Amino acid sequence: MVDIPIETIMAYALENAIKYNGKTNQKAVLAGLFSAGLEKSEIKNIIPKLTDVLNKVNSITAEEQKKEFEKLNFLCSKREIREGLKELPNARMGEVVMRMAPFPSGPLHIGNARTFILNDEYTKMYNGKLLLVMDDTIGSEAKRIEPESYGLIKEGIDWLGIKYDKKIIYKSDRIEKYYEYAEELLKKGYLYVCHCEQEKMHELKIKGIECSCRNLPPEKQMERWKEMFNAKMGSMTVRLKTSMQDSDPAFRDRVMFKISDFLHPKTKNKFRIYPSMEFSWGIDDHIFGVTHVLRGTDHYMSTRVQDFIRNIFGWENPESIYNGACKIEGIKISKSKGTQKIKAGIYTGWNDPRTWSLQSLRDRGIEPEAIRQFIIDLGIKNTNITAPVEALYLLNRKIIENVPRYSFVENPQKITIKGCPYLETKIPLHPNNSLGNKTIKTTQEFLIPELDFDLLENQNYRLIHLLTFNSNRIGIRPRELSFISEEPTNEKLKFIHWLPATPDNIKIKLLMPDGKIKRGLGEFELEKLKVGDTIQFERVGFVKLHKKTKEELEFWFAHN
């Protein structure tokens, strides 16, 4: 039991009163206290204390309320309720139950993360419960269950900071449960076992004609059901008697169970008959007490089927909230292609940047809070939307903008600046001077990126943080470079980042989001970094140290 101190109750009550013209609202204050750790079971115990506090707050002037709140406002935890997310229909504080249902065919990518983060936001908003249900009842050759993905999915969800019920549910553990309900419905005449070939059935469905299996008596259906366990794959299915006259042919007598000899990574060949997702959810949303389901707008049919099943049992249906698909401009995600390429060794692993998996974003230096804010900003829309990946980068930049800056020179080219004094220069690790300085000794020789080197024209340039020089182009390649000044001159110059030409520089490998690799040298100071540190390479972008070997440092690129 969490004991909420009276000062905390006072803080939330004052905050609420100030927001609403001096009068408190008990419900709203309670909602605040949930985010301070109050549990549903303790509401009763806290009510007398709360009533006292509310009376006290209501009896003082608005002026006094503000004064008191200044002393206590630090006790109000940052509100978990986010702006921009509309309320759930028919949601009651403390009673919302939602579910995340990944199909374990690979790690989660940013697209899957959207639904999960929204689920998390809502269950936090209503102090509800969020379930993690591995939707692993069936796989096929085309859509395989990848055993590793169970762990990868959990890792991704944990990294996002999603709070869910600790007991993870695996649908593959529940197959026999689905059989029980199937038998009940077969006996009551709501399901039938169909021997008809798929093509013939398709034709009948379009014409709205019932097949001969449909009206066999329940005893016969049960006999067929038992036969089904030893029947050939594809030879029998269990269908739901919706209506062969339904206006939508797709809704007519849908398949609820089929035979599969697919070797399941968890249950192996223990089961051969698998329920459809519609059937399993029709049952499970009731058993788990799910109150609200976030669904894609391509799932209207699925909801209708699930509701149909629950209506047979007389169960309540959860509220469905539809969310359109989200395309992220500038990136290409294909989970199945990604998996193929990992298996073929074309991608380096589940965290290869080209997969856009959460692991890959983590390893590039994208912060989970940036992903969360990106998703919340998109909100819930029942149309398909497109968002530029730049919006995510912008949010991430705000979080990591104060990391130290270092120099990385891609394909370094040596230059000599005539007349340049030997210098020992203090360069701030960040322009806001919050991180101290590094000291760099230089001679007349420097290394600059090949790209800058090739473009040197007849004009002045500035080596960033160091000096201004003149470039005098003679013919196509040779140039004469000469020192002008240490102090910046008034003219607007093109900056070039650089390294002192010393043997101390460190070899750098930089993996880009498109899988390409950039190579070059970095300053000696980089040696101090630890794997997982995020820094900025000046004029290149934000990067995260991925691997450290004797020969080189490997960074992954986040964004510029």
Residues making contact with Zn ion (CB under 5 A): 194, 196, 211, 213
Nearest-approach distance from CB 175 to Zn ion, in angstroms: 24
Question: Taking the complex as a whole, how short is the minimal distance between the CB of residue 228 and Zn ion, in angstroms?
Answer: 13
Could you tell me the smallest distance in angstroms from the CB atom of residue 239 to Zn ion?
Answer: 8
Q: How many helices (H) and strands (E) does the chain have?
A: 16, 27
Strands (E), 309-391: 319-323, 326-329, 385-388
Task: Decide the pairing of beta strands 405-406 and 534-537.
Answer: parallel
- Are 79 and 66 spatial neighbours (Cβ–Cβ below 8 Å)? no
Rg of the chain (C-alpha set): 32
517 DSSP β-pair partners: 511
**Whether the Cβ atoms of residue 148 and residue 350 lie closer than 8 Å to each other:** yes
3-state secondary structure of 520: strand
Q: SS3 for 80-142, per residue? A: CCCCCCCCCCCCCCCCCEEEECCCCCCCCEHHHHHHHHHHHHHHHHCCCEEEEEECCCCCCCC
Amino acid at 454: D
Nearer to Zn ion, 204 or 427 (CB): 204
Q: Least Å distance between CB 204 and Zn ion?
A: 8
Residue 539, token pair as written in the block: 């004029």
Nearer to Zn ion, 176 or 199 (CB): 199
d(CA 504, CA 525): 9
Q: Minimum distance between the CB of residue 196 and Zn ion, rounded to whole angstroms? A: 3
**Size (the chain), residues:** 560
Q: Are strands 437-442 and 445-449 parallel, antiparallel or unpaired?
A: unpaired
Residue closer to Zn ion, measured from CB, 211 or 423: 211
Q: How far is CA 4 from CA 15, 40, 52, 353, in A?
A: 16, 13, 14, 45
Q: Helices marked H in 344-471 — which ranges?
A: 358-364, 368-378, 389-400, 450-454
Strand, coil or helix: 263 = coil
Identity of the residue, 169 or 194, whose beta carbon is nearer to Zn ion in the bound complex: 194
Nearer to Zn ion, 213 or 361 (CB): 213
Of the two residues 253 and 352, which places its CB atom closer to Zn ion in the complex? 253
Q: What is the C-alpha separation between 526 and 560, in angstroms, rounded?
A: 19
Considering the complex, what minimum distance in angstroms separates the CB of residue 197 from Zn ion?
9
Least distance in angstroms from the C-beta of 199 to Zn ion? 12
The CB-of-214 to Zn ion minimum distance in angstroms stands at 6
Which C-beta is closer to Zn ion: that of 213 or that of 238? 213
- Residues 6 or more apart in contact with residue 69 via CB below 8 angstroms: 11, 14, 15, 18
Closest CA to 115 of 75, 160, 159, 171: 160
Smaller CB distance to Zn ion: residue 213 or 358? 213
Q: How far is the CB of 280 from Zn ion (least distance, A)?
A: 23
Tokens of 50: 């709360």
Residue nearer to Zn ion on the CB measure, 26 or 198:
198
Least separation in angstroms between residue 171's CB and Zn ion is 27
Q: Which is nearer to Zn ion, 192 or 555 (CB)?
A: 192
Closest CA to 243 of 277, 210, 199: 210
- Residue 479 tokens read as 């140039």
Residue with Cβ nearer Zn ion (209 or 301): 209
Phi, psi (5° rounding) for residue 97? Answer: -125, 125
CB of 282 to Zn ion, least distance (A): 21
Of 211 and 255, which CB lies nearer to Zn ion in the complex structure?
211
Structural contact between residues 79 and 71, judged by C-beta atoms closer than 8 angstroms:
no
